[in-house]
């Protein structure tokens, strides 16, 4: 489970997002990072029990994102993220494929999956797969466990009109408009600090598997 001290550090970092404070509290950061990494290692082992795409040699530390922000092209010059995240997928965290994401943040933790903003050729393949196999896709997103944890696909990244090559009255038009195919399960601080967290995370990630396999098939 995630320790209270990890969430306390991230909460305080949000209030004191500067290098002086961070360096004075580096030991707390290292403890928080180690806590999350240990958590991700267990999540990795759990995911491997149902998703055989995840290689045995993939280590938790290779899935973790750096806490340092890239501020070169951002108006927000805060040097640190307010969260510790990790992306689990066959090609590693930097590969642009279908996987599982864990986001630890005080008051804003969540688990997510799918694929975020695929490149144009990949997006075209996914749309074609939905077009050709909408019955299968609809069954996936209407499954009991899928609806329980996610409700549906995230709607934030979406076209206003039908994509080129598809009629406006296509039965799958609301999904063909999407530019990302992502599901999100929001978690409370109490959830991630619970002794039952790993069990719940496994159930949530397992509910993502049919979507990930469908999207991966489209890309392959």
State the DSSP H helix or E strand holding residue 113, giving kind and residue range, or none if neither: strand 109-115
Residue 30: CATH number of its domain: 3.30.930
What is the full per-residue pLDDT of the chain (220 aa) written as tens digits?
899 999 999 999 999 999 999 999 999 999 999 999 999 999 999 999 999 999 999 999 999 999 998 878 788 889 999 999 999 998 777 777 799 999 999 999 999 999 999 999 999 999 999 999 999 999 999 999 999 999 999 998 899 999 999 999 999 999 999 999 999 999 999 999 999 999 999 999 999 999 999 999 999 8
85, β-bridge pairs: 103
Nearest CA to 97 among 1, 189, 218, 198? Answer: 218
Tokens read off for 175: 């999904």
Q: What is the pLDDT of residue 73?
A: 78
27, β-bridge pairs: none
Nearest CA to 183 among 159, 217, 147, 218? Answer: 147
Q: What global pTM score does this model have? A: 0.92
Range(s) of the domain holding residue 157: 4-219
CA distance 99 to 101: 7
Determine how β-strand 84-88 pairs with β-strand 109-115: unpaired
- How many domains does the structure of the chain reveal? 1
């Amino acid at each position: 489970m995630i320790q209270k001290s990890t969430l306390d550090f991230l909460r305080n970092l949000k209030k004191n997002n500067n290098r002086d404070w961070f360096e004075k509290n580096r030991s707390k950061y290292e403890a928080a990072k180690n806590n999350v990494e240990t958590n991700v290692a267990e999540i990795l082992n759990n995911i491997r029990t149902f998703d055989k795409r995840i290689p045995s040699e993939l280590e938790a530390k290779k899935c973790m994102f750096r806490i340092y922000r890239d501020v070169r092209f951002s108006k927000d010059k805060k040097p640190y993220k307010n969260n510790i995240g990790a992306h689990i997928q066959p090609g590693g965290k930097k590969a642009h494929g279908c996987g599982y994401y864990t986001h630890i943040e005080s008051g804003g933790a969540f688990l997510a999956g799918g694929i975020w903003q695929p490149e144009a050729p990949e997006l075209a393949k996914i749309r074609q797969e939905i077009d050709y196999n909408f019955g299968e896709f609809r069954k996936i997103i209407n499954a009991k466990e899928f609806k329980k944890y996610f409700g549906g696909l995230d709607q934030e990244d979406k076209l206003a009109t039908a994509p080129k090559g598809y009629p406006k009255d296509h039965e799958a038009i609301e999904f063909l408009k999407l530019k990302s195919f992502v599901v999100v399960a929001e978690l409370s601080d109490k959830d991630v600090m619970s002794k039952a967290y790993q069990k719940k995370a496994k159930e949530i990630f397992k509910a993502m598997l049919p979507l990930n396999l469908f999207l991966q098939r489209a890309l392959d």
